[in-house]
Structure 1
C-alpha cells in the first residue's frame, strides 16, 4: 500500500465513520517503532506505522486509523482528545477503533557485540559498544580486562 492509497483510505474512513472530512495528510512513517500510529498536534497530520499492515492484517490497520482519527476530530473540535478523556473513550467505542495497537514484531538483533573477560577471576562483561580496556578493571576483583 502506498501513501496515496493510505490517504484515500483515511479520507473514506473519516467521511464514513465520523461524517467529517479529513483535510490533512496521512502517510506511513517507518521510524515509528513501538506505536501503531501518531497524530501530530501542530500539523494535524497522521503517521501510521507500516508494520501494522505488514505484520498484522488490514483490520488492525483499520483500528489504528480510527484511533488516530478520534484524536484528529476531537482535537479540531476542541474537545478531550487525550487517551484518558471521556470524549475520546466514548468516540473510540462508537466508531469501533482499537484502544491499543498490537506490539510490532521486532527484528531479532544480537543483544551485544563485544565480550570482555577478567583475566584474574573470569568475570564476563557483555557490551554493545567497544571499551578501552586500559581505563577499566574488573568490578569484582580489580583484575585486568581483555576482549575475548
Structure 2
C-alpha cells in the first residue's frame, strides 16, 4: 500500500523524467492507453502542462532552425548569383579590354610598319628611273612642308611632345655637301638669368633628296636634340643617351632606321674623272680647276665628264 509520501515522490520522479521519455509512453504507463498529441493538451495534469511547454520549445527550435536554414539558403543563392554575375561581368570586361587592346595593337602595327601617308609618295624605292626623276622633283618642291609634318609626327609618337618648337628649330641647308644633317647645341640666356637649352637642326638639300632619306636623317638629328634638351648631355655625340632614343624609335616606329653614319649615294651635278686611274670626283658646282688641280691618287689629269 502506497502512502501519500510515496505518491508525491512518484509524481516528482515523473516530472523529472518527462524530458527523457515520450509523452505517449508515459501516459500509457499511467493510464493504460495512448493519447494523440491533440488529446494530450486537454489532460488536466502536470504532464499536459509540461508537454505544452515542451511542444512550444520544440516548435521554437524548429522555427529558428528553419529560419536559419532559409537565410543560409538565401545568402548562398544570393552569394552564388552575385559571384556568377560579377564573374561574368569581369570576364566580359576582360574580353572587351582584350578586344580593344588587340584592335589598338593592330592599329599601331598598321601605322608603325609603314611610313606616314604624307611622305610615302616621296619615296623612290622600287621605282624606275623615269618615275624616280618625277618623285625627286616633287620632293624638292614640297620639302619644306614635309620637314615640318615629319618633325611633328616624330615629336608626338617618340618624344611625347617634349621637343617643343620654341626649343628646336629645323631648316634646310645649302652648305652641307656630303653630310646629311647637323645638330647644333646652344644655351640661351633668359630674362631671369637662367639658361635654356636649345637646338638647331639642319638638313642637307644636296644629300637628302627623297622621302626615305628624310625619315632616317631627321630621326637621327632629333635623337641628338633629345639627348641635349631632355637629358642635358652633349658628349659623346653617339653615347648611351643617343642609343636609348634610337631604341625608342625602333620600338615605336620600326620602319625608321637610325644609323650613326649614312651611306647615301649622293647625286652630283658635275663629275670629274682622272684620265690615268679613272677615279671620279663628284661636285655640286664647277669647283675643280682642271688646269691647276690633279688627281689625289696618281696625280693624273682631271677631266669634266659631260
* TM-score normalised by length of structure 1: 0.64
- Rounded to whole Å, the distance in 2 between the matches of 1:76 and 1:30 is 26
Structure 1: 5+ residue stretches without partners: 116-123, 128-148
Higher relative contact order (CA 8 A, sep 6+): 1
Q: Residues 226 and 245 of structure 2 are in contact (CA less than 8 Å); yes or no, is this contact kept in structure 1?
A: no
Q: Residues 35 and 49 of structure 1 are in contact (CA less than 8 Å); yes or no, is this contact kept in structure 2?
A: yes
Question: Cα deviation per residue 1:74-118 (whole Å; 9 max; x = unaligned)?
Answer: 101213564341221222132134212233233334365217xxx
Q: Which of 182, 185, 190 is equivalent to 1:38?
A: 182
| Displacement over 4 Å in runs of 4+ | 124-127
Alignment of 1:19-98 (within 5 A): 19=160, 20-23=162-165, 24-42=168-186, 44-54=199-209, 57-77=210-230, 78-79=232-233, 82-96=236-250, 97-98=257-258
Higher normalized helix content (fraction of residues): 2
Structure 2: 5+ residue stretches without partners: 1-141, 187-197, 251-256, 274-288, 293-298
Partner of 2:272: 110
**SS of corresponding position for 2:171:** strand
**SS of corresponding position for 2:233:** coil
Deviation at 1:61, TM superposition (A): 1.1
* TM-score normalised by length of structure 2: 0.34
Q: Residues 81 and 87 of structure 1 are in contact (CA less than 8 Å); yes or no, is this contact kept in structure 2?
A: no
Deviation at 1:4, TM superposition (A): 4.1
Larger Rg: 1 or 2?
A: 2
Aligned length: 118
**SS of corresponding position for 2:156:** helix
Deviation at 1:72, TM superposition (A): 0.3
Q: Which of 258, 262, 281 is equivalent to 1:101?
A: 262
Deviation at 1:63, TM superposition (A): 1.0
The answer to whether structure 1 residue 7 and structure 2 residue 142 are counterparts is no
Root-mean-square deviation over aligned CA pairs = 2.9
- Rounded to whole Å, the distance in 2 between the matches of 1:18 and 1:10 is 11
Question: Cα deviation per residue 1:11-57 (whole Å; 9 max; x = unaligned)?
Answer: 22112122123322211112111111111112511111124442xx4
